Structure 1
């Protein structure tokens, strides 16, 4: 399967094309992009068509993200300009949802499952009243998917009532069905909240307020640092980003490191946009950001030559401690 050029929506208007491509996560080892599922070649036409659809679907999710988030776009463009011979490889894409009947993780997951992603571990964030699950891709040229949800039943009554009022009487199954479609157009499947409703939710969960304003929009993309041949690890990349003037999420330090030291992550602060509330007021609200992840080689494979290392030789999955801090990239006090 050929790689797909990831073009922001604005490129359709004859503006410069974004450099990152949907490249295999094993690109550093020089492997080609094959039609593969769970590490095996796919031979039947139906599977090939499904993978083609999965690539097209991911492309559709990324276009509005690049168009609406100038900091993410600028960071990616800086990397493509500095390293024109490198593919920028996507580690994962992340989405946020509201954990109410008919919505939540289970409202987005079926689309990815039908396209070949496989459900993996669940993560819990008690202090933030969140849970998440990640999904492994059907082939190396597609990213992992990370979907989280606010446990609405655990927030206070005022926040719950504000969420319910914003969602309105529209059947939740209908909202779920149109969440990704609305996000592709830069909107939400429900009406805008009032400023008071937004504030009531934000007071208890900035995550929840983010979802009210942004719906199922792509919360962030993550680029694989270990696939950048000319970057000497995450710390080197952090220095380059900060040197270029990018504001990073400093909660817990610019680099978020798992206890085993093998998963290292960093992110920019979210952009902000002027949002029109249903009451007629307007204010800046956080949008999305870009993350960078470095997955180091597992101890049992550290004897491999660099050109033999594949993605499955590296640290897999996610880490609660890292993700807990990265969630705060969209907190209003940390937005760019």
Structure 2
């Protein structure tokens, strides 16, 4: 299924060139003798609504055989999410979240409406939009106003579309027993880790442990100048077997809520 590999390669290139250049260094540090790291999942962000909602992003993965496997609510952040899996376990999971605009302020909705107003309804027809960045113009003032209410809204408005993060599967990572070893190794190499909710989020009891670097600081061109803001980050996940002996494949809302904060301003 070459189309899946091609899509993820495009997403990886965009992620490492535009959103998280440090991922290349992390990838090299964790690779043993040049072995390819196993990607547990990627995450994508968007706004709710008919034009750009998570359904519009998901359809391109579903066309390649992915199926919805989980549903998540993040009430405080006003986010809703699905995760998708492919019947072939070699392919990464896909976690797609959206900001629930009806739950946000009138001012935030006015700004988002102004950004996406001229975006054609057909914009999401091609999967290329998933890794082509921001299709609208934004001012520094608009970014700051969004950030005051929702870091997530400001991130999507500034960066557009692309993988917010890739995730190393620690289960298949040579030379490391657990997430603490990975975290300590990266800190020793001068990477800052997200300690919101603890350096390691989750536990063996809930089936999943996660950690992540803090987002790279990225220069973004606005219509009235440049701003330096958080871009993408690199995540690490270790999955544990459930009672039936099969590795847990879902996500833990309490942990994912803290992972979102890797891009906090």
TM-score (normalised: structure 1): 0.75
Instruction: Report whether the alignment pairs 1:282 with 2:226.
Output: yes
Instruction: Report whether the alignment pairs 1:72 with 2:20.
Output: no
Instruction: Report whether the alignment pairs 1:56 with 2:6.
Output: yes
Match runs of 1:193-208 below 5 Å = 193-208=138-153
Deviates more, 1:139-148 or 1:258-267: 258-267
Residues in 2 aligned to 1:194 and 1:85: alpha-carbon distance in whole angstroms: 42
Instruction: Report whether the alignment pairs 1:192 with 2:143.
Output: no
Aligned to 2:185: 240
CA contact (8 A) 2:15 2:21 kept: no
* Gaps in structure 1 of 5+ consecutive residues: 1-50, 302-312
Tell me the SS of whatever aligns to 2:163.
coil
Runs of 4+ in structure 1 deviating by more than 3 angstroms, as ranges, are 182-185
Tell me the SS of whatever aligns to 2:167.
strand
Instruction: Report whether the alignment pairs 1:101 with 2:50.
Output: yes
Q: CA deviation at 1:259?
A: 7.9
Aligned to 1:11: none
Q: CA deviation at 1:175?
A: 3.2
CA contact (8 A) 2:214 2:233 kept: yes
Counterparts in 2 of 1:128 and 1:259: CA distance versus 1, 3 Å = farther
Q: CA deviation at 1:86?
A: 4.5
Tell me the SS of whatever aligns to 1:266.
strand
CA contact (8 A) 1:86 1:228 kept: no
CA contact (8 A) 1:262 1:295 kept: yes
Residues in 1 aligned to 2:137 and 2:263: alpha-carbon distance in whole angstroms: 19
CA contact (8 A) 1:103 1:176 kept: yes
Q: Of 144, 165, 175, which aligns to 2:114? A: 165
Instruction: Report whether the alignment pairs 1:181 with 2:131.
Output: no
Tell me the SS of whatever aligns to 2:228.
strand
Aligned to 1:325: 258
Higher relative contact order (CA 8 A, sep 6+): 2
CA contact (8 A) 2:206 2:252 kept: no
Per-residue CA distance 1:235-274 (angstroms, 9 max, x = gap): 1111111111110111011100158242000000111222
Instruction: Report whether the alignment pairs 1:224 with 2:169.
Output: yes
Q: CA deviation at 1:70?
A: 2.0
Residues in 2 aligned to 1:183 and 1:299: alpha-carbon distance in whole angstroms: 37
Tell me the SS of whatever aligns to 1:95.
strand
Q: CA deviation at 1:181?
A: 2.2
**Which is higher, the Rg of structure 1 or of structure 2?**
1
Q: CA deviation at 1:157?
A: 1.1
CA RMSD of aligned residues (A): 1.7
Residues in 1 aligned to 2:80 and 2:204: alpha-carbon distance in whole angstroms: 20
Q: Which has the higher strand share?
A: 2
Per-residue CA distance 1:154-175 (angstroms, 9 max, x = gap): 111111111111112333x233
Q: CA deviation at 1:183?
A: 5.0
Residues in 2 aligned to 1:121 and 1:155: alpha-carbon distance in whole angstroms: 24
Deviates more, 1:252-261 or 1:227-236: 252-261
CA contact (8 A) 2:65 2:87 kept: yes
